């Protein structure tokens, strides 16, 4: 299966996402800050990144800009996983260049569908 990087600062959300992905056979990498996520993405080249938006210090949108600006990580698809579900937040996230959007609280069926659909697409561009 795939290697998926989870960037999430909430331990409960991290556990839920990790457990669901591992049960489905994926290998997970974990980071609790955007900065650590960027380092892991560079070192491990995951097939997919699930990025929380509200993170300490650097937020998920700024982290995406760093990932897209680096040739080593620019093609890795990144899905926003966020509690920011207002339409204006969703528009901002989409315009930032995320490959998908999953709202919190997570609906497991929708979550797995979004992850599987993005993995089926493969790398960006």
Q: How confident is the model at residue 26 (pLDDT cuts 50, 70, 90)?
A: very high
User: For all residues of the chain together, what is the average pLDDT?
Assistant: 94
d(Cα 79, Cα 92) in Å, to the nearest integer?
13
Q: Is the pLDDT of residue 32 over 80?
A: yes
Question: What is the value of pTM for the model shown?
Answer: 0.95
Domain limits, the chain: 3-121
In the sheet that 78-82 helps form, which strands lie side by side, from edge to edge? Answer: 27-31, 3-7, 48-52, 78-82, 100-103
Q: Tokens 């993170």: give the residue.
A: 55
Q: Per residue in 44-61, pLDDT tens?
A: 999 999 999 999 999 999
Name the burial class of residue 55, with classes exposed (0-12), middle (13-18) and buried (19+) by CB atoms within 10 angstroms of its CB. buried
CATH topology for the 3-121 domain: Rossmann fold (3.40.50)
Q: How confident is the model at residue 118 (pLDDT cuts 50, 70, 90)?
A: very high
pLDDT value of residue 50: 98
């Amino acid at each position: 299966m795939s290697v998926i990087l989870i960037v999430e600062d909430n331990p409960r959300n991290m556990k839920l996402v990790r457990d669901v992905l591992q049960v489905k056979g994926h290998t997970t990498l974990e980071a609790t800050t955007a900065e650590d996520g960027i380092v892991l993405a560079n070192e491990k080249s995951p097939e997919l990144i699930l990025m929380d938006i509200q993170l300490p210090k650097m937020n998920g949108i700024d982290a995406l800009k760093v990932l897209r600006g680096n040739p080593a990580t620019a093609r890795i698809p990144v899905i926003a996983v966020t509690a920011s579900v207002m339409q204006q937040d969703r528009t901002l996230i989409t315009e930032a260049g995320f490959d998908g959007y999953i709202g919190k609280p997570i609906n497991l069926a929708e979550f797995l569908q979004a992850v599987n659909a993005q993995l089926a697409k493969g790398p960006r561009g």
